[in-house]
A and B are shown apart, each in its own frame.
Chain A
Amino acid sequence: MTLGRVLMMEMMKLKRSYVWLLMCVAPLLMVTFGAYNFVRYQDVFLQGNAVPWEKLLGQIVTFYGLLLLPLSIAVMAVWLARIEHSENNWKYLFTMPVNLKSIYITKTIIHIGLVGLSMVILYIGTIGAAIIVGVGNIPYGTTAVNVLICWITCLPILALQMILSIKFPNIGIPIGISLAASITSVVITNSAYGKYYFWSHPSLTLIPNSEGMRNLTIPYSLTISLVAFSCIMVIGYRFFRKHEA
């Protein structure tokens, strides 16, 4: 199958290139900070009938979902496009007997996989922190589902960042747009408009219900993310096909 062979080729290109470690470091960093913060201000957090697990989770995912996750998605897209922008590689790639669609799809698959890696590490890290800190009951299942949904809500962001990174060899543009979108999401996520803003979805999905911001249902998140992702992919591929090397 062609796609499999193209995927092997694309994976080989990443050898001895360690930018993907960011996808491991970013969630681990937030888990560490979140757990530290939770332990330090436990007395404040656990007033009244607060649920310890939810407070810990809130500490970990709020900043991560709003800023670090979208930004790391942008960095990965830049990286995946950059290996082709440098050294004249689009030209060579486009003279290979391979469908342009396969190239575009495999790059996106790797991108999705890298975000998935982040999600897995976030999940394991959060559970680990919860056990170490000792928050009592841990909802393993619900958390796993939320992390999975969060992964899917990342798809439109990821597809958009890929278009920008391929279109603009200058990394300032995709990263700048990502930063602006993430910062805007800090405001929007807290408002009623959060459900219409893609950059708000990952954090809205991860943040525990008790924080009162969560107004997304699972079917809504899934539908809007997958539909948007498909549309952006189609548009992205049209751009990609017209890309002159």
Chain B
Amino acid sequence: MMNKDVGETLVATKDLTKKFGDQYSVDHVNLEIKRGQIFGFLGPNGAGKTTSIRMLLGLMKPTEGEVRLFGQTFHKNRIDILRRVGALVEAPSYYRNLTGFENLKLSSKILGSSNARIEEVLGIVRLSEVSHQPVKQYSLGMKQRLGIALALLGSPELLILDEPTNGLDPSGIHEIRQLIKRMPEDFGITVLISSHNLAEIEMIASHVGIIQSGKLKFHGTMEELKRDQKPRVEIKVNNLMGAKDLLRQQDVQARIVEDMLLVDQPTDTVSAINRKLVSNGFEVFHLVESVKSLEEIFLDLTGKEGAI
């Protein structure tokens, strides 16, 4: 199952745009997700993740642009597409008067899943023991897991999960992350997961799309995200202002942050910078070439107001 057309594009959007009034909620977004990926859709709250996902699932019509899932459009192949997709959008859906099993059972009427499959997905999300309790007695984490079970029920090729760990306690978060990581290998399922949590995406995603104010700021693999960033140089010297002036005369732009001098775009090697400072009588007692952490990259891309 896993090797079926690896590299086939499952999700493609072209200039996907949604406007509410004058406000762009999603602004010309081009996404491409291939079979076998775990695609992390990352962005601060309100960046346009859920709106994008709603358009991907045909729940909402784009103002402009196009969505293709499995190379097909909703306009013509809505049912064919949805048969191959499992989704959990925002909060989990359920009928509170029914048990967990019954909630899955009613979906199985449409999906054609067997009782054995229902038991299987209940097992995957570890709800087997409580499957005959009414959902209104479930904790938030259990409801969330039921939502994932519903999404998995029809054996989808593509799983779309919108903030699936929202509101869960740490052990619940850990459990759902472990579950999602298994999807491509164990079940042959390609995953699109949205999150505002960088650490989460870093832990589970193979590919990432970063969205901010409706615009896609980055799209690629985790490695590419890190590789694109040049290292910067941190310097501690006895006279910060003097050192900054000296470097500027030598065409090296530096800025003072607290007790350090930072060179963001070093044109010289570290040793060359060091030599310039030392030969001009400065005492250099700290000199480090540092690579930005993912968090810093993320903040640079999304702006500080996007900090979580």
Q: Do A and B come from one complex?
A: yes
Binding site for B on A (CB under 8 A): 5-6, 8-9, 12-13, 15-17, 83, 86-89, 91-99, 244-245
Residue numbers in B under 8 Å from A86 (CB-CB): 96
Closest residue of chain B to A102, judged by CB?
B110
For chain B, the count of residues having a C-beta within 8 Å of the partner chain is 32
CB distance from B79 to the nearest CB of A (A): 5
Given contacts A13-B106, A244-B60, contact A96 B89 (CB under 8 A): no
Residue numbers in B under 8 Å from A15 (CB-CB): 97-98, 102
Contact of A88 among B82, B92, B97, B105 (CB under 8 A): B92
CB distance from B2 to the nearest CB of A (A): 23
Residue numbers in A under 8 Å from B89 (CB-CB): 88, 91-92, 95
- A12 near B98 (CB under 8 angstroms)? yes
Contact of B111 among A8, A88, A89, A97 (CB under 8 A): A97
Closest residue of chain B to A11, judged by CB?
B106
- B85 near A95 (CB under 8 angstroms)? yes
Closest residue of chain B to A17, judged by CB?
B97
**Does B291 sit at the interface, judged by CB under 8 A?**
no
Interface centre among A6, A95, A96, A99 (most CB of B within 10 A): A95
**Alpha-carbon distance between A212 and B141 when the two chains are bound, in angstroms:** 63
- A16 near B82 (CB under 8 angstroms)? no
**Alpha-carbon distance between A159 and B111 when the two chains are bound, in angstroms:** 28
**Alpha-carbon distance between A94 and B74 when the two chains are bound, in angstroms:** 12
Q: Which residues 84-122 in B have Cβ within 8 Å of A in the complex?
A: 85, 87, 89-98, 102, 105-107, 109-111
Residue numbers in A under 8 Å from B57 (CB-CB): 94-95
**Does B58 sit at the interface, judged by CB under 8 A?**
yes
CB distance from A83 to the nearest CB of B (A): 6
- A9 near B110 (CB under 8 angstroms)? yes
Binding site for A on B (CB under 8 A): 54, 57-61, 79-80, 82-83, 85, 87, 89-98, 102, 105-107, 109-111, 134, 150, 154
Residue numbers in B under 8 Å from A97 (CB-CB): 79-80, 82-83, 110-111, 154
- B98 near A245 (CB under 8 angstroms)? no
Residue numbers in B under 8 Å from A8 (CB-CB): 106, 109
**Alpha-carbon distance between A15 and B97 when the two chains are bound, in angstroms:** 7
Tally the A-B contacts, defined by beta carbons under 8 Å.
83
Interface centre among A88, A92, A99 (most CB of B within 10 A): A92
Given contacts A9-B107, A95-B87, A96-B107, contact A87 B60 (CB under 8 A): no
Task: Give the interface SS of chain A, mostly helix, strand, loop or mixed.
Answer: helix
Given contacts A95-B57, A98-B79, contact A87 B109 (CB under 8 A): no
Closest residue of chain A to B89, judged by CB?
A91
**Beyond A8-B106, A88-B92, A95-B57, 4 additional pairs, beta carbon < 8 A:** A5-B110, A9-B110, A95-B59, A95-B89
- B93 near A89 (CB under 8 angstroms)? yes
Residue numbers in B under 8 Å from A9 (CB-CB): 106-107, 109-110
- B59 near A94 (CB under 8 angstroms)? yes
Residue numbers in B under 8 Å from A5 (CB-CB): 109-110
Residue numbers in A under 8 Å from B60 (CB-CB): 244-245
Contact of B109 among A12, A83, A92, A99 (CB under 8 A): A12
CB distance from B97 to the nearest CB of A (A): 5
**Alpha-carbon distance between A245 and B54 when the two chains are bound, in angstroms:** 8
Supply 12 A–B pairs (Cβ within 8 Å), ascending by A.
Answer: A6-B110, A15-B97, A16-B98, A86-B96, A87-B93, A88-B90, A88-B92, A91-B59, A95-B57, A95-B82, A244-B60, A245-B59
CB distance from A97 to the nearest CB of B (A): 4
**Alpha-carbon distance between A31 and B45 when the two chains are bound, in angstroms:** 57
Closest residue of chain A to B92, judged by CB?
A88
Residue numbers in B under 8 Å from A244 (CB-CB): 54, 59-61
